[in-house]
Structure 1
Amino acid sequence: MRYLRYSYVTLALFLATILLAPVQILCLWRGWPLARKLPRYWHMVACFVLGIRIHVHGAPDKRRPLLLSSNHTSWLDIVVLGRVADLAFIAKSEVRDWPVFGLFARLQNSVFIERADRRGTGDQVNSIAERLVGEEIIVLFPEGTTSDGNRLLPLKYSLFGAASSAVPFSPTGRVYVQPVAVAYTGIGGLPMGRALRPVIAWPGDVEMLPSLAGVIRAGSFDIDVCFGESVEFTAETKRKQAAAEIEARMRDLLSERLRGR
Structure 2
Amino acid sequence: MPRALCDDSCVRAGGAPPARRVIVTVRATLRISATLMLLLMVPLLAVPLPGRGRIQRAYCRTFLRCLGVRITVSGGPIRNLRGVLVVSGHVSWIDIFIIGSVLPGAFVARADLIDWPAVGLAARIMKVIPIDRGSLRRLPHVVAQVADRLRNGQTVVAFPEGTTWCGLAYGQFRPAMFQAAVDSGRPVQPLRLTYHHRDGRPSTVAAFVGDDTLWQSLSRTVRARLTVVDVEVTSLELPGADRRELAARCEVAVRGQIAPRFEHAHGLAG
Give the equivalent residue in structure 2 for 1:22: 43
Deviation at 1:142, TM superposition (A): 0.3
Give the alignment of 1:13-92 within 5 angstroms: 13-19=35-41, 21-27=42-48, 36-57=53-74, 58-92=76-110
Letter in 2 for 1:178: Q
Instruction: Show the counterpart of 1:171.
Output: none
5+ residue gaps, structure 1, are 168-174, 256-261
Structure with greater contact order relative to length (CA < 8 Å, sep ≥ 6): 2
The corresponding residue for 1:239 is 243
**CA separation of 1:9/1:177 partners in 2, compared to 1, >3 Å: closer, same or farther?**
same
Supply the RMSD in Å over aligned alpha carbons: 2.5
Question: Structure 1: how far apart are the matches of 2:231 and 2:258?
Answer: 9
Q: Is the 8 A contact 2:31 2:68 kept in 1?
A: no
Change (3 A) 1:254 1:10: farther
What is the correspondence of 1:57-136 to structure 2 with a 5 Å cutoff? 57=74, 58-136=76-154
> Which protein has the bigger helix share?
1
In the TM superposition, what is the alpha-carbon distance from 1:254 to its structure 2 partner? 11
Number of residues paired by the alignment? Answer: 236
Deviation at 1:206, TM superposition (A): 0.5
1:11 aligned to 2:33? yes
Query: What amino acid maps onto 1:103 in structure 2?
Result: L
Q: What CA distance in whole angstroms lies between the structure 1 residues aligned with 2:141 and 2:50?
A: 24
Shift of 1:61: 3.4
Please tell me the residue identity of whatever aligns with 1:24. Answer: L
What is the CA-CA distance between 1:178 and the residue it aligns to?
A: 1.5
Deviation at 1:215, TM superposition (A): 0.7
With normalisation by structure 2, the TM-score equals 0.77
Give the aligned partner of residue 188 of structure 2: 177
**Residue 146 (str. 1) matches residue 167 (str. 2):** no
User: Residue 236 of structure 2: which of 223, 230, 240 is its match?
Assistant: 230
- Mapped to 2, the partners of 1:109 and 1:222 lie a distance apart of 26
1:6 deviates by 2.6
User: How does the TM-score come out when normalised to structure 1?
Assistant: 0.80
- Could you list the per-position Cα deviations for residues 96-148 of structure 1 after superposition, in whole angstroms to 9, with x for gaps in the alignment? 22333322211211111234545544432222122222322211100011112
**Hey, what's the Cα distance between the residues in 2 that align with 1:221 and 1:144?**
24
CA gap of 1:107–1:254, structure 2 versus 1, over 3 A, is farther
CA contact (8 A) 1:180 1:253 kept: no
Q: Which runs of 5+ in 2 are unaligned?
A: 1-22, 260-270
> Alignment partner of 1:233: what SS?
coil
Distance in 2 separating the partners of 1:108 and 1:47: 15
- The separation in 2 between residues aligned to 1:103 and 1:208, in whole angstroms, is 15
The 8 Å contact of residues 67 and 221 in structure 2, kept in 1 or not, is answered as yes
Q: Is the 8 A contact 1:180 1:228 kept in 2?
A: yes
Equivalent residue letter for 2:56: P
Residue 250, structure 1, aligned to residue 262, structure 2 = no
- 2:7 matched residue in structure 1: none
Q: 1:150/1:120 Cα in 2 relative to 1: closer, same or farther (>3 Å)? A: closer
- CA distance in structure 2 between the partners assigned to 1:253 and 1:60 by the alignment: 22
Aligned residue identity for 2:246 = A
SS in structure 2 at match of 1:157? coil
Cα distance, 1:83 vs structure 2: 1.6
**Residues 111 and 218 from structure 1, CA distance in 2 versus in 1: closer, same or farther, beyond 3 angstroms?**
same
Cα separation, partners in 2 of 1:40 and 1:89, compared to 1, 3 Å: same
Q: Deviations over 1:28-50 (max 9, x none)?
A: xxxx7766554323212122223
